[in-house]
Amino acid sequence: MSNWLDAVLVLLMLTSLWLLGSSRLQACIRAVALQGALLGLIPLLSKWPDISLRLGAVAVVSMVIKAVVLPALLRRAVREVNVRNEVEPLVGFTTSLLLGIALWGIATHIAGRLPVDVPGLSPLLVPVAIFTVLCGFLLIVSRNTAVMQVIGYLGLENGIYVFGWAFAIEEPLLVEMGVLLDVFVAVFVMGITIHHLSREFDSIETDELASLKD
């Protein structure tokens, strides 16, 4: 199953690049939903064939929340604010992709210096985790639309989940439930915020919000 796990990790890396290079919010939501589905497979493939009931439950809950519930909340937010694309980001999409390639080099360098010694751990797990976190940070700081910044936050959380799995392989439930609770709260708050900002100011561009004065 190591080959399947590596394939999942490569797909996870590609979805991060997809997020960096796409301007369409619906496409980005599909990408983050795909990430959620892939994340649910990581614990199963890592432990195959010794999959416990508890581990299977964690994987199913993770898939449902990350691949179904959270994307549905984001789609609802997009419908509420009636916006389709990210317009004039702080960092262009081509530049974002080039930065993503650079971030992969940084991630592999950092992973190579970490003292990680877990039997059976895929060599791609830690680099992909760090890369996903860095891509999430890049989306947060380089996009103007609040919805895209929420997507960046979710990408960041997905990387933290993969990283947590590498270091807490025996206790995935505690790591997963704690992070998922934070994400649920963040998405609900951001959804409410986006709705009210759109209703009051007819815009969800964060640079315009920063220019508001008393």
- Output the pLDDT for position 186: 60
- Output the pLDDT for position 181: 60
- Does residue 61 contact residue 174 with C-beta atoms inside 8 Å? no
Query: Distance of alpha carbon 25 from its chain centroid, rounded?
Result: 14
Q: Take residue 165 and report the two structure tokens written for it.
A: 């799995």
- CA–CA distance, 109 with 147 (Å, rounded to integer): 31
Q: What is the pTM of this model?
A: 0.79
- Output the pLDDT for position 211: 56
Averages of pLDDT over runs of 10 residues in the chain (214 residues) are 81 93 88 89 73 71 82 80 70 90 93 70 85 92 82 85 67 56 60 57 53 52
- CA–CA distance, 188 with 173 (Å, rounded to integer): 22
- Does residue 94 contact residue 23 with C-beta atoms inside 8 Å? no
In degrees, rounded to 5, the angle at the alpha carbon of residue 25 between the alpha carbons of residues 22 and 29 is 95
- Output the pLDDT for position 133: 92
- Output the pLDDT for position 158: 85
